[in-house]
Amino acid sequence: MKLRMAIVGCGEIAGYVAFLARFVPRLRITACCDIDPDRASQFARRHRIPAVYSEYDALLDRELLDAVYLAVPHDLHLPMTLKAAEKGKAVLLEKPLARNTAEGQELIRRVSANKVGVNYQYRYDSAAYALARAVQKGELGEIYSIVVQVPWHRERRYFEEASWHRSLERSGGGTLLTQASHFLDWAFWALRDKPQSAMGYTASFAFAVEVETLAHGVVQTQKGTLISIVSSMVCAKEESVSIRVDGQAGSAIYREKPLLTLKFQGVKVKAEKPPLRGFHALQRSLAAFVAWILDDRPYLIPAAEALPALAAVEAIYRSAQTGKRESTIYR
């Protein structure tokens, strides 16, 4: 049996997903949809997708689908997920879950009968997976500290070609929500913990935009671990993401580039492999979503699992406004 899925939003990330979908054996991209009809048609031609739509409602009404993949601006995450769920479709929703925790909680409440997954694909990155499993199995002992750096660079075209990125109303936030939330999501999953409070600063350098292009935050989890995160899209030269984990028994350092590496210090750990095969984390995330829908094998990020990252981001944003330590919804 194959999963019939439509791609909704034929922009930046959808191109990678359409390409990688070819390497996921039981997945068929049977339709695509974009509010921009030319973009939708070009995308369909490029990826040999048989049916093309420029209206989401028409796609849901007319096409025989098991699932939709939603790669749209953040303000559409909640309404489009709800529409698909009402029609009984499974949803693979691009991250973040929503613009803020109120929307995220509403989404979780209203789709509880449906399978909705959030594509935080770093959970399927082989080194990040191995590190998370080592943390979960207690190989590093009690975890005291996680330090994440996301020193990225975005060109002017990032805001010009997808203008919703500029708007706080449409995106809900800048680099912390759009980029660094991947690694906050990873951290709460690795720790099997939730954010309790946070402090942070945000700034908007280099571009005339409403969202932050630089954020520094510290989050304390319910169990007491301190997570420090620096996220930027204004580094003059993009560098690798790094994650440092310090525990009572040992430490670990993850780097994504130039080569994916994971080094343990003070402990010997046999690295666990991700549950699905594939050459890219995004591909494994897609394959895992397919296995969830067709075989009921758990997907690592059902919607409710994506809420802690959103709660942490929201608390950092609030702290940046108030200048105080802010509690999360998990206080």
Ligand X SMILES: NC(=O)c1ccc[n+]([C@@H]2O[C@H](COP(=O)([O-])OP(=O)(O)OC[C@H]3O[C@@H](n4cnc5c(N)ncnc54)[C@H](O)[C@@H]3O)[C@@H](O)[C@H]2O)c1
Contacts with ligand X by CB under 6 A lie at 8-14, 33-36, 39, 56, 71-74, 76, 94-95, 119, 121, 162, 178
Smallest gap from Cβ 239 to ligand X, in A, equals: 17
Q: Which lies closer to ligand X via its Cβ, residue 37 or residue 224?
A: 37
Q: Which lies closer to ligand X via its Cβ, residue 196 or residue 283?
A: 283
Q: Which lies closer to ligand X via its Cβ, residue 71 or residue 252?
A: 71
How far is 253 from 244, CA to CA, in rounded Å? 5
Q: Which lies closer to ligand X via its Cβ, residue 136 or residue 163?
A: 163
Smallest gap from Cβ 195 to ligand X, in A, equals: 20
By Cβ distance, which residue is nearest to ligand X? 11
Q: Which lies closer to ligand X via its Cβ, residue 4 or residue 39?
A: 39
Smallest gap from Cβ 14 to ligand X, in A, equals: 6
Residue identified by tokens 């390409």 is: 19
Smallest gap from Cβ 59 to ligand X, in A, equals: 9
Smallest gap from Cβ 66 to ligand X, in A, equals: 19
C-alpha distances out from residue 230 to 136, 214, 218, 227, Å: 24, 8, 9, 10
How far is 305 from 169, CA to CA, in rounded Å? 24
Q: Which lies closer to ligand X via its Cβ, residue 9 or residue 274?
A: 9
User: How buried is residue 316: exposed, middle or buried, by Cβ count under 10 Å (0-12/13-18/19+)?
Assistant: buried
Smallest gap from Cβ 149 to ligand X, in A, equals: 17
Smallest gap from Cβ 242 to ligand X, in A, equals: 17
Q: Which lies closer to ligand X via its Cβ, residue 73 or residue 308?
A: 73
Q: Which lies closer to ligand X via its Cβ, residue 52 or residue 143?
A: 52
Smallest gap from Cβ 81 to ligand X, in A, equals: 11
How far is 236 from 177, CA to CA, in rounded Å? 21
